[in-house]
Each structure stands twice: as structure tokens, then as C-alpha cells.
Amino acid sequence: MAWKVAFCVVLLAVVAHLLVDPFDISSLTKHKEDFLHRSPFADLQTGNSSSLSQVLFDASTSVAGFKRLVAFLESTTNARALMGTWVAWVAVAFLASAPWTLSWAYDYFCCPLELTVSLEDVERRADGKKYPPWERPRRLRGAVPPPYPNAWYKVCNSHDIPKGESRDFELLGHFFAVYRGEDGKVRILDAYCPHMGANLGVTGRVVGNEIACPFHGWQFDGEGKCTHIPYAEKVPGFMKTTAWPSTEMNGSVMLWHDAEGRPPLWMPSDIKEINSGRYKWHGAALHQVRAHIQEIPENGPDTAHLNYLHVPLVFRLLNKIGFHHAWEATWEAGKGVDEHLAFMRVIQSVEFRGRYIPGTRIDVDIVQVGPSMVHLHFATPFGKVMLIETVTPVQPLLQRITHQVFAEWTVPRFFAKFIMGNTIVQFERDVPIWNNKTYLNNPGLVKEDGPIAKYRRWFAKNFYSENSEKVARDRAAATGSIDW
């Protein structure tokens, strides 16, 4: 920021110099006809061409004037002095901007990407105005599926919870206290103390592997059991809070939610290359979207929209002169122990007058892990790049979406960020659609729409259960939500 300020100061100084000591152009207009017929040598000898602006104007109106300009620049002491002044100003401006330019280059080539797009940035109608609070629920509400499928959900990044600290998070229409004990393990409890309702995640003190309430000092272990009350002789056996199954994987803290209260039915995919350090982290992006969670990953099997919404801008012009950019995609649900997975391959290529252009094909292998995670694998000339997308429902129709990019050590950081940036550009084309659409239980599909119906059957079979709707309604009633 300091370099940017310095650069602006120098530019203002240059502008001020122009205003205080401008070139005298008006005098040239009065004597234009006489000036055009003068000999350049006479101009130089008499010294009547002391104003560089006169010579520049003359040079722009005739070939002879251009020759006079050359002679003037080569021979006139005044011109040399004047040019020296402006060269000095240009040099100062360049030197002042060089640190800012180097700082920008350092950020781009060496620093991880960190992008946060708030709800205020994306919550817009077609006319660019924000939705009034009474209009938004009417737009979103409908016959939508339960908002919290049974699955693992990302709570935060692992580095967000240092050892011995606690934080609170809102997700799944609920508040959670997350803390890391002295043994390095993360534990997740209901946020509110069952004693007087204080938030354990806000200034709650970690004691060993337990957390102490900031209000009265009651301590709870990782199973939610109250183990100590500072001013009581005995801890009632019934005094406890809810503990939630959790794990850490791929640099993220994950929480298991199941409407029936069952233990985890499957585990999120462990990316060995990330956990071993073979893949390096190169940045993350955070977005908020107003939609049902199912609609975000449904983009994958909706192959028809790829060739309409996601055509690169340059090809909207090139397609008119014979080029053709095309997306192809396949989608298949997993089977057996992989029933919670779905596999997709996306291929994009470029043709010219019906013939494939070698080197333009890009294959992306995609694995959907449950309803809330997607892994994208890119094979590049530099090495392998991987993007992890997570979708976490904060409220019934408010999603927190993160993208993280990892790559082999052979992949330059700027290239990993380039792939990440392009992915985000494509993702953000969908955001206005999601924010302004309604969910249709029975969409009018044609066979060319891709396996959308197949996807919805797979989703409903594996991630909803008998009490999914009841849990959502109970939480909505508890929080006063009007989105569900």
C-alpha cells in the first residue's frame, strides 16, 4: 500500500508541474502560417523556437515540420534542457512505480491466492439492486428438499484452530464450538453451555483437552460431559452438552451430520498427496451463495449449460469465423462402498472449421464426495494440480463455498493460481443464476439435458433420510428462520 501511495504522489506532482508550467501552444496558432515556411536553420539560429510545443505542433501538420523537429531536437540547447526535464520526470515516475510493480509481481508469483466474496457482493437482482428482506424468502421458498443432507461438512481450515484455542461457527442452522486440545486433536460441541447459555466458542478457555465456559468456568470434555464445576461439590450426571463427530483431513476440519443420529456412514476421501506434503497449498477463495445445497454440485451433470453459459468470452467472437469451443462431459454414480461418490470427466477442446486443433484439449477428472465436496484433478505440462471445492449450508438456503488449490512442487505458484482464477471465473458465472432462481422439484427436461434426473435420484437415495425434513424444521423454528 505504501508503494501505491508513493506512486500516486509522484503522478500528482507531474500533473501539478504541467498545470504550473504548461507548454505555450496559443502563440503558435497566431503565427502558424509564417512558421510553416521558415527554414529550420533560421529557427535554430534566431532562437525563435524556444517553445518545444510549437515544434511538436508543426511536426504534426507537415513533413517539413517533422524535419524541422529533428533538427530542433539535435541542435537546440533549450530543447535539450526541456527534454532533460521531462526525461527526469519520467525517470522519477518509473522509479517510484517500480517497487509497486515489483510488489505486485511478488504477490502474483510468490504469494498464495486469498479471495473472499461476501454475500453483499453477490446478493443482487438483475437490475443490480439488493433484494428487500421481505422479497428474498418469496423468491427462494418452494418445494425444496431438506436443506441439510446427511454428510461430512467443512467447518473451517485446520490452521484456523491453533492448539489451545476455541472458536464458534454457524453451519447447518446451528452454532458449534470448535477447540483444539493440548493433544492437538480438534473437538466439536454445541456452542451454548447447558448451564446458562454462554457461547463456549467465544473466549472459552481450553484446559488440557477440555473446554471451560467463559461465564462460570464449567468444564466439558470432548464427549460433551461436564467434568468440573468450580463452586460445586458434585457434578450432576445429567449435565452434558452434545458432541459432534469430527475429523481433520486435507487441511480441513470436518463435521458429520446425520438426521437419524447415526455415526459416520462413510469417511471423506483422504488425499495422500496433500497430507504427505507432496502437494503444496497455493491459495483459497470463499463465496456465499443463496441457493439449496443440491443445486451447486448439480451443475456437474447439467452438461447442457456448459456450452451456453461457460463458453470463454474470446470464443464468442472466434466462433463466428470458423472456430468452435466445445465442452463434453460424462457423469456416473459410484457403486457399493463408493455409493456416496460420483465420477465425472469434463473435456474442453477447440476446432477450426470442423477440425480439432492439436494441443487445445484439456481433461479434468472430477470426483464428488457426498453432497458437500468436489475434487477436481488437472494434468498440466508443469505437473498435477488439484482443486477442492466444499459447500457448507450455513442456513437452509445460504451456502458457504470454498475453493482451495494444491499442486505438485514442479508447478509454479503463478500457474496454480492461474488455474484457480479461471475456475473461479467460470464459477462466478453461475452465482447470479443460483441467487435468482427457484428450485423446481419436477423440471421440464429433454434427453439432451444430461443425467440431471439420474443425479437427483442418486442424491435423494444416499443423503436424505426419514428425519431430514423434521430436523430442518426444528432448527428453523429454533432460530426463527423464514427460509424454510
Residue 101, pLDDT > 90, answer: no
pLDDT of residue 285: 92
Band (97; pLDDT cuts 50, 70, 90): low
Residue 343, pLDDT > 90, answer: yes
- pLDDT tens-digit profile of 254-273? 999 999 999 999 999 889 89
Pairwise pLDDT comparison (84 vs 235), residue with the higher score: 235
CB-based contact 370:340 (threshold 8 Å): yes
Distance CA 53, CA 25 (A): 6
pLDDT of residue 326: 74
Band (42; pLDDT cuts 50, 70, 90): very low
- pLDDT tens-digit profile of 418-435? 889 888 988 988 998 898
H helix intervals, 338-467: 413-435, 452-463
The secondary structure of residue 272, as a DSSP letter, is: H
Q: Which CATH superfamily is domain 151-252 in?
A: Rieske [2Fe-2S] iron-sulphur domain (2.102.10.10)
- pLDDT tens-digit profile of 59-96? 555 666 666 655 655 555 554 555 556 666 666 666 66
Distance CA 275, CA 187 (A): 20
**Location of each CATH 2.102.10.10 domain in the chain:** 151-252
**Widest pairwise Cα distance in the chain:** 110
Band (464; pLDDT cuts 50, 70, 90): very high
- pLDDT tens-digit profile of 387-409? 999 999 999 999 999 999 999 99
pLDDT of residue 177: 97
pLDDT of residue 472: 82
Pairwise pLDDT comparison (306 vs 159), residue with the higher score: 159
Band (124; pLDDT cuts 50, 70, 90): low
**Location of each CATH 3.90.380.10 domain in the chain:** 114-144+273-479
Band (2; pLDDT cuts 50, 70, 90): low
Residue 117, pLDDT > 60, answer: yes
Pairwise pLDDT comparison (176 vs 446), residue with the higher score: 176
Band (20; pLDDT cuts 50, 70, 90): very low
* pTM beyond 0.95, yes or no: no
Residue 31, pLDDT > 90, answer: no
Compute the CA torsion angle 434, 439, 444, 449 (nearest 10 deg).
Answer: 40
Pairwise pLDDT comparison (50 vs 211), residue with the higher score: 211
Beta bridge partners of 430: none
Residue 366, pLDDT > 80, answer: yes
**Mean pLDDT score across all residues of the chain:** 79
Q: State the amino acid at position 380 in one-letter form.
A: T
- pLDDT tens-digit profile of 158-213? 999 999 999 999 999 999 999 999 999 999 999 999 999 999 999 999 999 999 99
Share of residues in the chain with pLDDT > 90 (%): 43
Question: What is the CATH topology of the domain spanning 114-144+273-479?
Answer: Naphthalene 1,2-dioxygenase Alpha Subunit; Chain A, domain 1 (3.90.380)
pLDDT of residue 98: 65
pLDDT of residue 73: 54
Phi, psi of 423 (to 5 degrees): -65, -40
CB-based contact 346:336 (threshold 8 Å): no
How far is residue 56 from each of residues 10, 32, 38, 52, 145, measured CA to CA in Å? 25, 12, 15, 6, 72
Mean pLDDT within 327-349: 88
Beta bridge partners of 188: 178, 244
410-434 exposure pattern, b = at least 16 Cβ within 10 A, e = fewer: ebebebbbbbbbebbeebeebbeeb
Mean pLDDT within 410-417: 91
pLDDT of residue 67: 61
pLDDT of residue 65: 63
Share of residues in the chain with pLDDT > 70 (%): 68
CB-based contact 199:176 (threshold 8 Å): no
Q: For the packed helices 52-59 and 77-110, what is the interaxial angle rounded to 10 degrees? A: 80
Residue 351, pLDDT > 50, answer: yes
H helix intervals, 37-188: 40-46, 52-59, 63-75, 77-110, 119-122, 135-140
Residue 238, pLDDT > 80, answer: yes
pLDDT of residue 310: 73
pLDDT of residue 389: 96
How far is residue 284 from each of residues 53, 111, 399, measured CA to CA in Å? 52, 11, 16
pLDDT of residue 3: 47
Pairwise pLDDT comparison (352 vs 89), residue with the higher score: 352
